[in-house]
Amino acid sequence: MPTLPDLLFYALAGFTLLFGFLCVANPFSRNPVTSAMFLVLTIISMAGLFVLLQAFFLAAVQVLVYAGAVMVLFLFVIMLLDIKEEERRRLNKAALGIGGVAVLAIAGLLVRALVQATPLASAAGQRAEGSTKPLGRLLFTEYLLPFEILSVLLLVAMVGVILLSKKEMK
Amino acid sequence: MLAWTIYLSFLGAAMAALAPKDRPTIARWIALTTSVLGLGIGLAGILHQTNRSALQTIVDVPWIPAIHARYLLAADGISLTLVLLTGIAAVAGILFSWNITHRANQFFAFYLTLIGGVYGVFLSFDAFLFFVFYEIAIIPKYFLVAIWGSTNKEYGAMKLALYSFVGSALVLVGLIATYAHAGSPTFSLLELARQPLPTSFQVWVFPLVFVGFAILAGLWPFHTWAPTGHVAAPTAASMLLAGVVMKLGAYGALRVAMPLFPEGLAAWRDPLALLSVIGILAGAGIALIQKDFKFVVGYSSVSHMGFVLLGLMTLSVTGLSGAVLQMFSHGIIASLLFAVVGRMIYDRAHTRELSALESLQLSRALPFAAITFVLASLASMGLPGFSGFVAELQVLMGAWKTFPLYAALAGIGILIGVAYTLRVLVKAFFGQSNGTIEAATHENYAPISIPERIGALLLLGTSLLVGIYPRVLLDLILPSFETPLMKPLLKGAGL
Amino acid sequence: MNYMELLGALAPEAIVVLTALVALAVDLLVLRQAPQNARQVVAVSITAVGILAAIIALSVAAPSPPWMDGLLINHSTTAFLKQTLLVLALVAGILSIQSRFTQHTGEYVTLLLLSTVGMMLLVSSDNLLLMFVALELTSLPLYVLTAFNKESPSSSEASLKYFLIGSLSAACLLFGISLLYGLSGGITWTQLATTLRAGSEPIVYLALILTLIGFAFKVAAAPFHLWAPDVYQGAPTPVAAFIASGSKIASFYMFARIFMAALPGTAGSAAWSGATPGWVPLVAALAVVSMILGNVAAIAQRSVKRLLAYSAIGHAGYALLAILSNTEQGMGSLLYYVVTYAVTAMGAFAVVNVIERDVQAPNGESLTDFAGLSRRSPLLSLCLLVFVLSLAGIPPLAGFFGKFYIFIATAQSGTSQGLIWLVMLAIGTSAISLYYYLQILKQVYVVESVGQPTPVQLRPAESACIVAMACTVLILGCAPNWLINRFSPNSTEVRRAGVITKPSTTLELAAEIHPRITAPLGTATGLVQKRPQFETTTANAQ
């Protein structure tokens, strides 16, 4: 008998998948703004999954940063560049076939794995604590190194974006 | 000391490569000095050897402990015979390429690299080292043929390189499988020969290794690189190809494939003997109908190398020593034939078509070339007094005991050999003139130069010496079959 | 562990990051108005100083114990690999001087250095979390660098393709490692190795496949190679050279370690008869496809950079053999192979870079641009000869011994030489490869250039680099011991959690062989095989 969190999990996971699919391959609209909106919904569903894991801080960040700030930037750029509706491309049959086989293979593997799986003992030993304090402590002690590397990664992204988007002056 | 044949050749190659581009003389003299020194060292090594044991270690140091590879150079009589052959063929080849001016420094650099690799193969007693030198010899061949060759040179060069590389790939598979299979991993030939390998393993590895080597020795039906390669190659390169490189294959078969896998050899002996007899007959038969002078010599090489392989399959002292002697003898004679065809005739008449040569009456224009070729033909036909006679006789005697039918067929091969040799001899030099021959054509031919004369005399003299007094080599070769590496081979044959 | 200790352990990486920032600042603040050439020289000089400092820091650093459950590990192998990566980055910097693909020299060296930092962290991590972050830090700058030539549409196209496929592969990898984490509850090699066993959970295989796909993309193994030809051709040549060399070393090292050290329990077997499921047969499948596809497709190429790309796919196949051998010797052979391959590929690309500058063709170089090179620059063609023949595996060059060592390691692993079929296939495809390598050399040495041959313009720094790399390839081929010994002593440490299936051959007692090799070769004293001298694991020899 599934419990309420289980039901919620399946619902949210289903939403994530559905909205993600609509974001990249919406059969009804080719408008980039629509896609961006579905991306927002995807992110919100994922935030819901974080809540189920009692990672409230991550859920909040997910909504604030991704669904909020980042998506605003996305929309801003879309409007600024005045991107037209994407044209429907003719699909390459061979590529579609190979891609389909690959997807089916992975999906088959997943289904097989799920069917044969035995319930795991709660493998991930400690659950992430929801509050910000332990998270911050971990980030600045045990996981300081990856955290700092991420700052370098952001620098790379910044340099790259400025460089690629700037007009070449001759 | 013998190791210096290798180092000197590579050193000479480096020096020739650094020699000034527009002064071919310098590169030439570097090459000649190096190769003469190499020949001298080879001779000195032989003199040194006669009063020592049959197998001497030259250098033996650990090289790559991770795979138990040692830098192990050694020499027995078989190696020394072939080192001597390499020395003679190298000197003669340089003398016959004295007229090369186009990128001469690169020519001699590649040439000497090839020679160095060949010396290395003949002196290696570690399978890994052997293989390294064997592969070093592949690439210079490609460039020698592709840059300085004639007639379809790029095709011939690529075919030559790929056949060699495929052959060495087969050998490599065999070596790695053997190394992985051996009880205590080692590449030392003596050590590997001592470790009994399971029969089932030997039966599949032996043909790989043997055929891998035999491709280079012109084993039928893998011989097709030889005629095209020989024809495409410049004179010196075809001298080396026929004179030395084909021997690499036969030597590899004798030195590596046969002692390491005696039981595999026993299983495959009959089919391989059959293939070598087919090679003798097919090579001779095809040579009989060729229109291009050089193709005749090219196919004759396949035929003569068939004798070597047949000799190897006899597994008797007579047959094996005959095979080694035939390697030497064919190396000398084929070099001479290619020198006459490629340098003396083609560089002057600019044709090798027998029908065209027929009307030129070259015996009158180039008497020295004609005499040389007559003598070389006699040697090639196996006339007593030349080295070929002793060698082929020994092979036939050895084969008679084990494969009487094949010996008889090989005898027929000799007869066909007489036929095609006489045919080209008559056509090329003593053709019937239609009366339209102008004296002017003959006067355009440059006289046979001094280096050519020296080279021809060197090769002819060697062949005569060995033909008249074969013991000079047999005394070297025979004790080699008493070494621990070779001895089990004869025992395995029950002789 | 306190912050200072962390900083000490991370000193080389910190130096490189600082160098990158200094180079960027100097270029943007001080040299804005300076001529392009001066800016390039200054930027590369700063890079050289920083890299030299980092190399020195690496060689004097005391070996630190694994920090935070393998979040950061330092030993002599990682130090050597990091030094190699730094040298390669420096060469990539030097190659870019005088090339006209960008005005933004400061950004170029910055991204190059930061990508190098990513690679350095990648080789010194025993931990899924750091591995993923480092992999991203490696890749992201490379995506940007690929797009650096803004005048060339193919550069942007290549970058977009690289970025999209790279992100996809990162997603696969992330999925895979998240499953690994979920199954084992740990993120370090030790935790993974102790919990994960084959046959227990089908999800293990799913995790293996996804992780494998992620790495197969990174090392350009077929069928996940599609980005490689376009990127090698479209990217500015120094960048392509760095992708082909540095990124290969780091990715292959991590690839080998995560499977050998973290997942030994799920290895399975790829023996011809009696294969069992696990990651080894999967790697074998990748290797087979890569070797065949890479070597066959290379034959049809007309651009040398594309040809090198397909040849790189083939070479990835050989390197995968070393991984699937799953032994210490396999690890040693893999490292020897990727390091020598990286030097060779960097050298080949350096020559291509010179030619490309020389011909100034709008669509990049092609095979025929190399025609008659031997008359135009004997030195350059001799070096190219060395690089190409090393790639083809001709002795006595490093490429030959690299392949040989891998084949030996593969043939010896497993029971009763079940993997010999892979060795046969590898040798066969390597015979095919000689054909297309000779096509390059044919252009260089055989074909004459059209018209009067004009000498190729070479800069001193550039030619010094090329000659040095050619000499390295030759010396490492003739005397491979030096490099092998750098890797073998602590391979136990490298895959310490792994199951050792075969004793290291270097450890095998030579004494077993010695008494039997005696009489016939005469002097027995010369035949004593000494036990190889091991270096101690400490890196502070100075």
Chain C residues with beta carbon closer than 8 angstroms to that of B188: 517
C35 touches chain B (CB under 8 A): no
CB pairs under 8 A between A and C: 88
User: pLDDT value at position C509?
Assistant: 30
Instruction: Taking residues A158-166, report their average pLDDT.
Output: 89
DSSP for residue C64: P
Which residues of A, range 109-148, sit inside 8 Å of C by Cβ?
109-110, 112-113, 116-118, 120, 123-125, 142-146
Q: Contact, C183 vs C175, CB < 8 A?
A: no
Q: How far is CA B44 from CA B83, B90, B124, in A?
A: 11, 17, 18
Whether C420 sits inside 8 A of B194 (CB atoms) is: no
| ipTM for the complex shown | 0.92
Question: What is d(CA B323, CA B78) in angstroms, rounded to the nearest whole number?
Answer: 10
Lowest mean pLDDT among B29-38, B459-468, C212-221, C528-537: C528-537
Write the residue in C420, C506, C516 that is nearest to B191 by C-beta: C516
CA distance B103 to B20: 10
pLDDT in tens, C24-77: 999 989 888 888 888 999 999 999 999 999 999 998 877 666 666 677 888 888
Query: Residue C389 to residues A138, B154, B160, C398: CA-CA distances in angstroms?
Result: 52, 18, 17, 9
Model pLDDT for residues C404-420, shown as the tens digit of each residue: 999 999 988 866 677 88
Helix residue ranges, H only, C96-200: 105-123, 128-146, 153-184, 189-195
Whether C474 contacts chain B with CB within 8 A = no
For the record, the structure tokens of B147 come out as 């840059």
Among A66-75, B452-461, C5-14, C262-271, where is mean pLDDT lowest? C262-271
pLDDT at A161 over 80: yes
Residue C521's pLDDT is what? 33
Measured CA to CA, the distance from residue C89 to residue C109 in angstroms comes to 9
Chains in contact with C, where contact requires at least 3 CB pairs less than 8 Å apart: A, B
Q: Tell me if C328 is assigned to some domain.
A: yes
Cβ contacts of A28 within 8 Å, gap of 6 or more: none
Tell me if residue C73 falls in helix, strand or coil: coil
What span, in angstroms and rounded, lies between the C-alpha atoms of B411 and A119?
A: 82
- Encode pLDDT of A50-102 as tens digits: 888 888 888 998 899 988 898 888 888 888 887 776 666 777 888 888 889 98
Cβ distance C395 to B135 less than 8 Å, yes or no, reads: yes
C511 in any annotated domain? no
Residue with tokens 């390691």: C409
Q: How many domains does chain C have?
A: 1
Tokens representing residue A136 in the block: 């911050």
Reported CATH class of domain A1-86: mainly alpha
In a domain, C38, yes or no: yes
CA distance C41 to A73: 38
Say yes or no for a CB contact (<8 Å) between B146 and C442. yes
What is the per-residue pLDDT across C80-130, written as a single tens digit (0 to 9) for each? 999 999 999 999 999 988 777 788 888 999 999 999 999 999 998 888 999
Mean pLDDT of C248-261: 93
- Mean per-residue pLDDT, C513-538: 33
- Distance separating alpha carbons of residues C155 and C142, to the nearest angstrom: 12
Transcribe A71-132 into DSSP letters.
Answer: HHHHHHHHHHHTPPPPPPPPPPHHHHHHHHHHHHHHHHHHHHHHHHPPPPP--S-SPPPSSH
Regarding pTM above 0.80, the answer is yes
The answer to whether B98 faces chain C, any CB pair under 8 Å, is no
DSSP state of C263: -
3-state secondary structure B380-406: HHCCCCCHHHHHHHHHHHHHHHHCHHH
Q: How many CA atoms does the CB half-sphere of A21 hold within 13 Å?
A: 7
The per-residue pLDDT for A113 is 80
* Cβ-based contacts of C524 with chain B (< 8 Å): none
Interface contact C460, partner B, CB < 8 A: no
- The pLDDT assigned to B67 comes to 87
* C378: in domain: yes
User: Mean pLDDT across the stretch C316-323?
Assistant: 94
Q: From start to end of B234-314, where are the E strands?
A: none
List the one residue out of C36, C117, C125 whose CA is nearest residue C82: C117
Q: Which domain holds residue C74?
A: 3-260+277-494
pLDDT of the residue at C251: 95
Q: Could you tell me how many residues make up chain A?
A: 170
How many CB atoms sit inside 10 A of residue A72's CB? 12
Give the pLDDT confidence score for residue B437 in this predicted structure.
57
C533 compared with C174, residue with greater pLDDT:
C174
pLDDT at C102: 80
pLDDT value at residue C169: 93
Q: 3-state class of B413 per DSSP?
A: helix
Q: What are phi and psi of C268, to 5 degrees?
A: 70, -165
> In this predicted structure, what is the pLDDT of residue C165?
93
Torsion of Cα atoms, A130 then A131 then A136 then A139, to 10°: -10
Report the residue from A106, A150, A164 with minimal CB separation from C147: A164
Distance separating alpha carbons of residues B458 and B378, to the nearest angstrom: 16
User: pLDDT tens, position by position, for chain B (495 residues)?
Assistant: 888 899 999 999 999 988 888 888 888 899 999 999 999 999 988 887 765 667 888 888 999 888 888 999 988 889 999 999 999 999 999 998 888 888 888 899 999 999 999 999 999 999 999 999 999 988 999 999 998 888 788 888 999 999 999 999 999 999 999 998 887 888 988 888 888 888 888 999 999 999 999 998 888 888 888 888 888 888 888 888 888 999 999 999 999 999 899 889 988 999 999 999 999 999 999 998 888 888 888 899 999 999 999 999 988 888 999 999 999 999 999 999 999 888 888 888 888 888 787 777 777 778 888 888 889 988 888 888 888 888 999 999 989 888 889 999 999 999 999 999 988 888 888 777 665 555 556 667 788 888 888 989 999 999 989 888 888 888 888 888 888 888 877 765 444
Amino acid at the residue C88 = L
Contact predicate B210/B272, CB 8 Å: yes
> Distance (Å, rounded) from C-alpha C19 to C-alpha B319?
73
| Cβ within 8 Å, pair C404-B67 | yes
Query: What's the pLDDT tens digit per position in C446-492?
Result: 888 777 778 888 888 899 999 999 999 999 999 998 888 888 654 44
Residue C257 has pLDDT above 60, yes or no: yes
What is the predicted pLDDT for the residue at B92? 92
- Per the CB < 8 Å rule, is C133 touching A146? yes
DSSP per-residue letters across C149-177: -TT-HHHHHHHHHHHHHHHHHHHHHHHHH
Enter the tokens of residue C405.
Answer: 């060592």
Per DSSP, helices labelled H in B100-152 are: 104-123, 127-136, 138-148
Chain C residues with CB-CB distance to B67 below 8 A: 404-405, 408, 505
Work out the percent of chain A whose per-residue pLDDT is above 70: 88
